[in-house]
Chains A and B, each alone.
Chain A
Amino acid sequence: MTRTVRLTVNGQAREGAAEPRLSLADFLREVLDLTGTHLGCEHGVCGACTVLLDGEPIRACLMLAVQAAGRSITTVEGLAPADGLSPLQQAFQDKHGLQCGYCTPGILVTTQAFLRQNPSPTREEIREMLAGNLCRCTGYHLIVEAIEAAAHGPAGTHAPKPA
């Protein structure tokens, strides 16, 4: 039986209909038309669908849309300012931290929360954090460089927008 889910997405009040078995990831993509959140493995391994739930990263494929009622979600669409890119996104562009881009939304969202908790991570800490997001193109090297640049660069301001 379909239910109406009301929640906050990227700072805006949104609502949509969801069967209980609909994942939050499919709800974001198919009901709210926010297709920046990607689905890779759909069982929690690849990290492509990572979004922020009340500011903390979670797998959107492992949460039901009905469980997100009343909560605040930030997707990759919510990371960028009204025009241009966030400092983290800019660093990914500058350092070529992506190739096909499929895994990028999940990595950006995960890293945004990571840098808030650990603003000056070591390379080792960055690599441990990235273990939760699979990238099959880059070999991670340029992703690590992009994150280091975002953390240590002059524009190292990665404070998340309030969700």
Chain B
Amino acid sequence: MKPAPFEYLAPATIVETVAALAQHGDDAKVLAGGQSLVPMLNLRLARPAVLVDINGVAELDHLREAEGRVHIGALKRQAGVERWAGARLPLMAEALRAVGHAAIRNRGTVAGSVAHADPASELPALLLCLDGAAVARGAAGERVIPAGELFRAPLTTSLRPDELVTEVRFSVPRPDAGWGFAEVARRHGDFALVGAAALLWLDDGGRVAGARLALFGVGGTPVRGSAAEALLTDQTPSAERIREAARAAAAALRPDGDLHASARYRSEVAAVLAERTLTAALERCERAA
């Protein structure tokens, strides 16, 4: 249970980090909070020749709001973002409380969880739900990767080996938007068997102006509930319509079964959680109105 030997680099700037990644490419791994990578090193599931520790890159430790989005630097720990989100973005605060335990969130970063792309984890799904994006810096420059183009397969993203995620961006919903978050796990802090995040906002006539639904633990990547969103948008919401939308989202899923839950169970729970989170979102819309 000890990592294989590696060369340890601790750059002080983004430029130095990107240069190190350009030099070592596939042989290098970026270390931020380490709550996913270090277990893989300890178990020797990952044996990078070079570890590029970005914990000394002060310019990655930022959190700022601009133009309706929150920009979260690659070094921002989940615990700190949770404190910020409590009043400003309660959906994110709720999702973060479900990430591991306090001791994990004190080290783990939001951007690192997104880049790790575990299909059962909360933050990649939240990135989908909140129309988010990852900002990647490589030798060729910077690009913004929308959430819908980031997640490719379990633990696999469209990031290139020489790219560093410098920040992740989430839209901050309008204040009257309603939200819901739920997951089913064996114990608090365990990886979810299935989870859902939902967002709804209404127009002046009480119709759904916008709907977002993202599900996790239901496939190789987090999945956007596009069928549900389409069935709700421009409609007057009701319990029946939400149930129909949730069923439609679950019907589009192709979850895998494993030791912890069968595929059929996951589909069924996805429908239930989609309905619960959309219902919670609608109730919050109505309270805000």
Contact = CB atoms under 8 A, between A and B. Distances in A.
Interface of A: 19-21, 23, 26, 42-44, 47, 50, 53, 56-59, 61-64, 66-67, 110, 113-114, 128-129, 131-132
Nearest to A54: B106
Top 7 nearest A-B pairs by Cβ distance? A132-B101, A20-B8, A43-B39, A42-B1, A57-B103, A62-B38, A131-B188
Contact of A47 (B1, B7, B101): B101
B77 to A, nearest CB: 9
B101 A53 contact: no
The B contact surface, by secondary structure, is loop
A44 B38 contact: yes
Interface string B11-25: 000000000000000
Bin the interface of chain B by size.
20 to 34
10 contacts: A19-B5, A23-B42, A56-B79, A56-B106, A58-B106, A59-B103, A64-B38, A129-B101, A131-B187, A132-B100
Contacts of B1: 42-43
A132 B4 contact: no
Contacts of A132: 100-104, 189
Contacts of B261: none
A62 B39 contact: yes
Contacts, number: 81
Q: Does more than half of chain A's interface fall in helix, strand or loop, or is it mixed?
A: mixed
B6 A62 contact: no
A63 B3 CA distance: 12
B122 to A, nearest CB: 15
A65 to B, nearest CB: 11
Contacts of A26: 2
A42 B42 contact: yes
Contacts of B187: 131
Interface string B92-119: 0000000011111011000000000000
B51 interface: yes
B55 interface: yes
Nearest to A44: B39
Contacts of B35: 44, 59, 62
A110 B102 contact: yes
A59 B104 contact: yes
Contacts of A113: 102
A66 B8 contact: yes
B106 A57 contact: yes
Contacts of B106: 53, 56-58
